[in-house]
Structure 1
């Protein structure tokens, strides 16, 4: 099988512009954002938009995968201690879900939330975060009686609390403090 040719540089730039414009549009608005609006914001024609993303669902999935990639990459960032590394990553995980709630809502409208797309990305996040929790628990800095799934459910529940950062972040702080050993 011959290798797949690389995209031209201008095609890569167009794709990045579309993703950036879509990311900003979904972050700003609770209302449904049209493909025409994303095309306008990206400064590309509708044909270019649809060549890169044949459907709205594919565009939203690409945005979601980019965000999951960033969350997974953040799990590899070093810190002073295993506990500090885990808590820093949990804050990043919280920020992803708290700030990307409109994107997640859009995606849930487009596809079945229980399907393989979500489970595959969930598995990627769990695989990236598991070594952080294991190291933090092994060091004695983080309680050993909670699973990764339980810790993530706690953070997700807090991310769903309505309110701005000054209201929600103290709740997150209290929960993360509760993960530390006495």
Structure 2
């Protein structure tokens, strides 16, 4: 079970009140939408306006813009891990695996922009997301195994190869940003390489 969020700064060992938790969630949701639409250079004031809160509320939860970017990044990975977990019991394991792969790639541009901004600020993204990253890899590994057991994905592919393909496909998607047709065809090529040969399928 996820522990309650706690206040930032002095007295940060206090669990947040319900209204503070709601405000924090609104700020995170607004920040993700604003960064996705306008890039990470957008002002914190714009995030506050989108969330319908004062700038002071934003800074109470996220003392710096880097802290806000970091929280957005971690929240996105948390959500992806939860979505992957929810798909593990899907009736069609192959469809679950490929649809999740496509979803991750679809969010590549924003993810890569936030990653770059954090790296530029000197934040170790790998360290920051270590726990959430492990959960995401675990869930993705489960999706892969189920898809392979169902004969939908070739049996000689492991999680490291899938992660490498995800990185490559995400960079390709960012490169062709705005051209959904090229992105869809590129993904189709990747998926063709991942699919099991007819003699491996059930």
TM-score in same-fold range (> 0.5): yes
1:6-65 deviation line (CA, Å, top 9, x unaligned): 533332222122112211211112361222222233232222111111222221111111
Mark the runs of 5 or more structure 1 residues left unpaired by the alignment: none
**Per-residue deviation at 1:154?**
0.9
Which residue of structure 2 lines up, in the alignment, with residue 69 of structure 1? 78
Task: Say if 2:98 is the partner of 1:84.
Answer: no
Structure 2 distance, partners of 1:13, 1:126, is: 29
CA RMSD after TM alignment: 2.2
TM-score of the aligned structures, taking structure 1 as reference length? 0.85
> 1:67 aligns to what SS in structure 2?
helix
Change (3 A) 1:34 1:99: closer
Task: Say if 2:136 is the partner of 1:121.
Answer: no
Change (3 A) 1:92 1:115: closer
Which residue of structure 1 lines up, in the alignment, with residue 191 of structure 2? 176
**Among residues 120, 145, 163, which one is paired with 1:134 in the alignment?**
145
1:153-176 deviation line (CA, Å, top 9, x unaligned): 112212112112221121011211
Mark the runs of 5 or more structure 2 residues left unpaired by the alignment: 1-12, 198-202
Which residue of structure 2 lines up, in the alignment, with residue 100 of structure 1? 111
Question: Is 169-178 or 92-101 further displaced after alignment?
Answer: 92-101
**Among residues 4, 28, 33, which one is paired with 2:37 in the alignment?**
28
1:121-141 deviation line (CA, Å, top 9, x unaligned): 332211111111122223332
**Per-residue deviation at 1:180?**
0.9
